[in-house]
Amino acid sequence: MLSIVLPAYNEEKMIETVVITLQQLLTKHKIEYELIFVDDGSKDGTWKKIQQVTDQYNHVVGIQFSRNFGKESAIFAGLERANGEVVAVMDCDLQHPPETLIEMYDAWCDGFELIEGVKKHRGKESIMHKISAKTFYNIMSKATGIDMKNASDFKMMDRKVVDSLLKLPERNTFFRALSSWCGYKVKIVEFEVAKRQIGETKWSMSSLIRYALNNIVSFTTIPLQFVTFSGIVFFLVAIVLGIQTLVRYFCHGAVEGFTTVILLLLFIGSVIMISLGIIGYYIAKMYEEIKHRPRYIVSHIVVSKEKMIQEKDLR
C-alpha cells in the first residue's frame, strides 16, 4: 500500500481537489493507497474540510495539531501514522505534480528505496530570493555531501527509510536533508513545479528566513566555522597593521589613523556580536533539544469508515 502524507496549512480550498485528483490517478493505475492530511494549526476551515472528505471518500485519514508546529512536524506526524510499505510526501497545493507519483512508484517497484523529487528549475523568483536560496542550498549541500540545489520535500520512501527517519531522536528536524542523509538506494526523478491552482503561497520572506536558519542550525555546524574564519582574518589584518605601525615608528613617521582605528573597533565589535549571536542560537537549539518536548501535539484524528474497518482487520 502507498501512503501519501499531505501537510496542510490554510488549504481549505484545496483539500477536496487533492483527494479527487489523487483518487482518480491511483485508482486508474490500480495502486492501493491511503491519504494522510495533517492540519498544522490552520486558521481557516481546513480541518472542517478534512473531516468532510473523510466522510465522503475512502482511504482518508485526518490529523489535527493543537496549534501550528511547522511543516517539519506535520511531515513527521504523517510518517508516524502511515501504514504503507511505501510512503510519499507531497505538498497539498498540487504544485508537486501527482502524475510524478506514478513514476516514483514504478522506481520503488524496481527496487529503489528513496526516490527524490528534484525540480527541473526553480521557476520565476526575485533576484534576492534566488541568491538566498542558492546560499542556503550550498550550505546544506556541503553539510550533507549531496547536491541539494533543487531539492524538495516531494519524495517517496520505502518502509525501511521511514523507520530509519522515525528512529532519529532530534526534535529540530530538516526532512529534506535527513531523508538524503539516511542513504539507501536512491533514484532522482525530475519534475516541473506546477502553478498553484487556488490561493496564494503561505511562505512569506520572514518565514522563509526563519525556516532556513532553523534548518541550517539543526543540521550543520558550518555557521560556527564563521567565528573561527573571522578570527583568522582579523589576526592576519592585525599582523599587517602591526608591521605598518612599526615601520612608521622606526622611520619617525607621524602616528596617524584615528579614523581607521575607530572603524576597525566598530567592525570588530560587530563581528564579535554576530559571532556571539550564532553561538547563542546554537545554544538555544541545544536547550530545546534537552527539554525533550514532543515535536507536536495532536488534537484530533479522523478516519474514513472503510479505513477504520481495514485497520481493525490488520489488528
Identify the residue with better confidence: 197 or 237: 237
CA separation for the pair 284, 205 (Å, rounded): 23
Classified as helix, coil or strand, 265 is helix
Least confident of 72-76, 78-82, 91-95, 271-275: 271-275
Give the pLDDT confidence score for residue 109 in this predicted structure.
87
Give the pLDDT confidence score for residue 13 in this predicted structure.
84
The amino acid present at 232, given as its one-letter code, is I
3-state helix, strand, coil in the chain (%, to 5): 55, 15, 30
217 band by pLDDT with thresholds 50, 70 and 90: low
Residues in CB range of 122: below 8 A, 6 or more apart: 130, 133, 150, 193
290 band by pLDDT with thresholds 50, 70 and 90: confident
Is residue 29 within 8 A of residue 37, CB to CB? The reply is no
Average pLDDT, the chain: 76
Share of the chain above pLDDT 90, in %: 0
The model carries a pTM of 0.68
Nearest CA to 62 among 76, 48, 50?
A: 50
What does the pLDDT average to over 137-164?
73
Take residue 210 and report the three cell numbers written for it.
526563519
- pLDDT beyond 50 at 312: no
First and final C-alpha spacing in the chain: 16
CA separation for the pair 66, 138 (Å, rounded): 35
35-90 pLDDT, tens digit per residue, is 999 988 888 888 888 888 888 888 888 998 888 888 888 888 888 888 888 898 88
Least confident of 156-160, 163-167, 204-208: 204-208
| Maximum CA extent, the chain | 94
Least confident of 108-112, 202-206, 214-218, 260-264: 202-206
The amino acid present at 34, given as its one-letter code, is E
Compute, in degrees rounded to 10, the torsion defined by CA atoms 131, 145, 228, 219: 80
- pLDDT beyond 50 at 314: no
